[in-house]
Amino acid sequence: MGRRPEVFVRPVGMEEGRRLQRISRTAKDPVRLRRAIVVMMSAQGQSVPDITSLMQVSADYVRDVIHAFNERGFDALDPKWSGGRPRTISSRVREHICLIARTSPADWGLAGLSSWSLAKLAEHLVKQQVVPTLSRETLRRILREGKVTWKTTTTWKSSNDPDFIAKMHRILALYDTPPADGRMVCVDEFGPLNLMPRKGKAWGPVRSPRRLRATYNRYNGVMHMLAALDLTTGKIYYHIRKRKRWREFLGLLKALRARWPGEKLYVVLDNFSPHKHPNVRAWAAAHDIELVFLPTYGSWLNWIESEFAALRYFALNGTDHRSHTEQNAAIAAYVRRRNARAEPKARFAPDSPIREWTEYPTAV
């Protein structure tokens, strides 16, 4: 029997060679990766027996890949999955299933149910004759393909402020174009700072979660953090006090005034009653501080809120401090570390729909 002719891939250009190398380094699909390596080895002059020996595949597989690449180019590297029995549930029925999944059981007169489980939804679909039979796994796949996921219900507090849009645009304008005659500062209170075990997340061994005590007493009261975020530098300045009355808030304003003498301060803050105390307003007006109040129920417009979320996540979650001194030291260490890496704040929610609001969406 004569020797079978060798099979080689067609001449590969420089750009195609770079593309094959890139695929061989980054491809996550094992089929695409293997085919790219076969083509690249053949382009380098390796014979079919050499490729089969190194790749541990059959000679027919190598020849098929080379012939396919010579005919279709890079399209031959992508696997074309086929086979298996055809779908018994049409695309239209699948869309209908996803639509029903997004409804509430109460919409169908099912008392005592506020949400679907896979089993209850599958039973309801069969009962409504949407499908003759349906397993939970098939239902799960249908919902996943239809991009219907299991979500946590959240709340939204609508604002009743008649001047919401005007106040919002005023704050956004200050964020976007900081005033040349002063400095933007966002102020708010964080707390109460309790002494209690706080749930958190951390890396650890499988099936060996970190444990915190479940019972505790709060004999030492609570503390409150009054903080300010300087948008020019991105740094946080704060006081921790036992109370958060207008006197404590005025003390924070005085500290900010002393830190930046000679500059007008634009202070963004919410409608907490100590912020509007007559003594606070009078002192701020006398010392070149403009208090820029947020719309009612619009605390999410205060840039410092995102910093509080990070503070809670990195400094407090997963801890169990037994004294305020210990807890305050942890907060101080986090703020020092954060301020050492701080950068100026810019581009507040640039792609958010709030940028296009002309009236407040009271209907959620």
59-78 pLDDT tens trace: 899 999 999 899 888 888 88
186 strand-pairing partners: 229, 268
Query: What does the block give as tokens for 190?
Result: 């964080």
**What pLDDT score does 318 carry?**
92
* Rg (the chain; Cα; Å): 32
Q: What is the pLDDT of residue 57?
A: 87
In this prediction, residue 363 carries a pLDDT of 47
- Residue 85: φ, ψ to 5°: -75, 155
Looking at residue 204, the DSSP 8-state letter turns out to be: -
Tokens representing 93 are 């029925």
Quote the pLDDT of residue 357.
Answer: 86
Residue 229 CA, distance from chain mean position: 22
Structural element, H or E, at residue 265: strand 264-269
Edge-to-edge order in the sheet of strand 182-193: 236-241, 223-230, 182-193, 264-269, 289-293
pLDDT means per 10 residues, the chain with 364 residues, are 64 88 86 90 88 87 90 84 79 94 92 91 94 92 93 85 92 93 95 92 85 89 95 95 95 96 94 96 96 93 94 93 94 96 92 86 54
- Tell me the C-alpha to C-alpha distance, in Å, between residue 257 and each of 25, 28, 243, 289: 57, 57, 21, 8
**What pLDDT score was predicted for residue 76?**
86
DSSP code of residue 5: P
Q: Average per-residue pLDDT in the chain?
A: 90
Threshold 0.75, pTM exceeds: no
At residue 169, the pLDDT reads: 93
In the prediction, which pLDDT does 1 show? Answer: 42
